[in-house]
Structure 1
Amino acid sequence: MAEAVMGARVRGDAARRFYVWMAATCLAVAVLGFMPTYFMPMAQGRLNAPPLIHIHGIVLFSWVAFFCVQTWLVAQGRVLAHRTWGMLGIGIVTAMVFVVTAIVSLRVTQASLPGQPANLPHDVKAFAWVSIGGLAFFLPVFIAAIANVRRPEAHKRLMLLGTISLLPAPIARWFLVLLAPPPDPNAPPYPAGLPQITPPPVVVTIGPSLVADLLLVVAILYDWRTRSRPHPVYLVGGALLLLIQLTAVPVSESAAWQAAAAAIGHIAG
């Protein structure tokens, strides 16, 4: 009996360490991902961005940092503190919904200003699906995690799945830095007095998404090794996440989404 209890305790400790490492990895990906396009330019005084962009960065980065701290609290056995601080997580996610929607609305409005290139409104509305589609996945996963707070095996996997779904954005920054074509010296100058917006094609988001999904593969393999089968959260949630990622191009180009994005743009006026 004592050996069984000791074995269960050892397995529990190993699982907690695994999730701490996974959370720390998510945090490292977020920091390193935004390093070349946000943190370094800001430290060097080269970042010229409106306040809403900084608020957006603070809110989304706060989630990854919060997730890391919450995972560490559980690993330390401080479950009561973990649950108490959980209310902050609800606040951060609520802020994410408003900030992401505000950013998308602002970009659609700016792209539709008179004088902007003719194809820009369509391209911006198409790329807006990347943000809204990601939010449409993350938010239900987070709600499901809260609903399963008394089922820790499902709760912690839902939180990890939701956080992984946010990582394509920082990973994509390195794709843009390393793979972006050089500026065309013969390109006509951008219309004066208008905000310059250059959304990448939606198809370029698929690569970073699949790279982020490797963390989910690691979690599935860990489940396979420790419990002989992956948890349904990873199977069902992972399949839905992959579906959203792989259908991003046709959905973003659809008339239904273009109309929905135009409606979101009206929020900013």
Structure 2
Amino acid sequence: MAGVPRATAGNDDRFFVISAFAMAAVVVAGFSLQAAMGRSSFNAPPLLHAHAIVFMGWVGIYVSQTVLASRGNRALHRRLGWVAAGWIVAMLVLGCLVTLAMVRRGQVPFFFVPLQFLVFDPLTLFTFAGLSAAAIVKRRQTQWHRRLHFCGMSMLLGPAFGRLLPVPLLAPFAFEATFVATLLFPVAGIIADLRRTGRVHPAWGWGVGTMVATLLAVEALTYGPLGPPLYASLTAGTPGAAVPALEFPPPPMGPQVTGRP
């Protein structure tokens, strides 16, 4: 961190550590609320359990890496970093498989257009992976490294915010609303930079710009000419094929329970 005063660097560490725990709190609160309100079930296929374990594991990895970096434990930070890189691959595979399984079963939440759900889950994951890969490439440039990872982690907060926000009341813009919520942490980072140094680190521009580009790509694929054929090809021969790609499913007759087989 050449050219950065020691006091500034310390304040920087504090912001990222506090934010990492705050992100973890959002995830825990979102899924705990879902369980407390009876909208989650442990009676779910093994694929969903594997997905939950791996994604919650990433939250632990991110918090641990942030704390290790703030304490200067670079050796353990690097070793855990390579574990994290492999962990991301598992997240991509499981995330895409779960999304495809839900769409094929015709079990997309009623406040999402099925085609949009099919598109935004994988694109969100690949954006997270891309930002994380860029952070790994920039691992010798601490300020780039931590901000790109930060934006990648923010991309994963959509499902947690979706469980905290009244998304049924936000339709037809439930996805867009949860996406805006994921920008809260990067915006806080930008504000923290301005207060601390009087300028915004360029990594925020790349990170937030990539996030916004993902939103635009989701909308373009959902409502453009490529979306419906993609949906038809991936749901052919399954119950999901009978669900209109660009119509909101009807609300459930009883309470909606996620994770059902």
Both structures adopt the same fold (TM-score exceeding 0.5): yes
Aligned residue identity for 2:154: I
CA displacement, residues 123-144 of structure 1 (integer Å, 9 cap, x when unaligned): 4233111201201311111110
Determine what percentage of the aligned residue pairs are the same residue: 25
Aligned twin of 1:31: 28
User: Structure 1 residues 202, 78: CA separation in 2 closer, same or farther (over 3 Å shift)?
Assistant: farther
Secondary structure of 1:180's counterpart equals helix
Aligned twin of 1:226: 196
- Checking the alignment, whether the CA contact within 8 Å between 1:133 and 1:244 is kept in structure 2 is yes
Aligned twin of 1:239: 209
Aligned residue identity for 1:100: G
Secondary structure of 1:155's counterpart equals helix
- Checking the alignment, whether the CA contact within 8 Å between 1:36 and 1:173 is kept in structure 2 is yes
- Checking the alignment, whether the CA contact within 8 Å between 2:167 and 2:174 is kept in structure 1 is no
Gap runs ≥5 in structure 2: 239-261
Q: TM-score by structure 1 length?
A: 0.76
Aligned twin of 1:109: 104
User: Structure 1 residues 138, 264: CA separation in 2 closer, same or farther (over 3 Å shift)?
Assistant: farther
Partner Cα distance (1:142, 1:213) in 2: 16
Aligned residue identity for 1:59: V
Counting matched residue pairs gives 232
Aligned twin of 2:243: none
Matches within 5 A, 1:194-213: 203-213=173-183
Partner Cα distance (1:82, 1:35) in 2: 29
| Counterpart selection for 1:140 from 124, 130, 134 | 130
- Checking the alignment, whether the CA contact within 8 Å between 2:13 and 2:70 is kept in structure 1 is yes
Partner Cα distance (1:135, 1:260) in 2: 18
Aligned residue identity for 2:117: F
CA displacement, residues 171-229 of structure 1 (integer Å, 9 cap, x when unaligned): 01122xx4536xxxxxxxxxxxxxxxxxx966211112212211111100111122322
Aligned twin of 1:72: 67
Partner Cα distance (2:49, 2:171) in 1: 24
Aligned twin of 1:197: none
| Counterpart selection for 1:16 from 9, 13, 18 | 13
Deviating beyond 6 angstroms after TM superposition, the runs of 4 or more aligned structure 1 residues are none
Structure possessing the higher relative contact order (Cα contacts under 8 Å, 6 or more residues apart):
2
CA RMSD of aligned residues (A): 2.8
Secondary structure of 1:255's counterpart equals coil
Partner Cα distance (1:201, 1:180) in 2: 6
How far is 1:263 from its partner? 4.7
Q: Which one is further off, 129-138 or 63-72?
A: 129-138
- Checking the alignment, whether the CA contact within 8 Å between 2:20 and 2:62 is kept in structure 1 is yes
Q: Which one is further off, 131-140 or 252-261?
A: 252-261
Q: Does 1:258 align with 2:228?
A: yes
Q: Does 1:87 align with 2:87?
A: no
Partner Cα distance (1:262, 1:236) in 2: 34
Aligned twin of 1:186: none
Partner Cα distance (1:248, 1:15) in 2: 33
- Checking the alignment, whether the CA contact within 8 Å between 1:66 and 1:89 is kept in structure 2 is yes
Q: TM-score by structure 2 length?
A: 0.78
Q: Does 1:125 align with 2:120?
A: no
- Checking the alignment, whether the CA contact within 8 Å between 2:30 and 2:164 is kept in structure 1 is yes
How far is 1:246 from its partner? 5.4
Aligned twin of 1:185: none
- Checking the alignment, whether the CA contact within 8 Å between 2:147 and 2:207 is kept in structure 1 is no
Aligned residue identity for 1:150: R
Aligned residue identity for 1:75: S
Aligned residue identity for 2:189: A
Larger Rg, first or second structure (1 or 2): 1
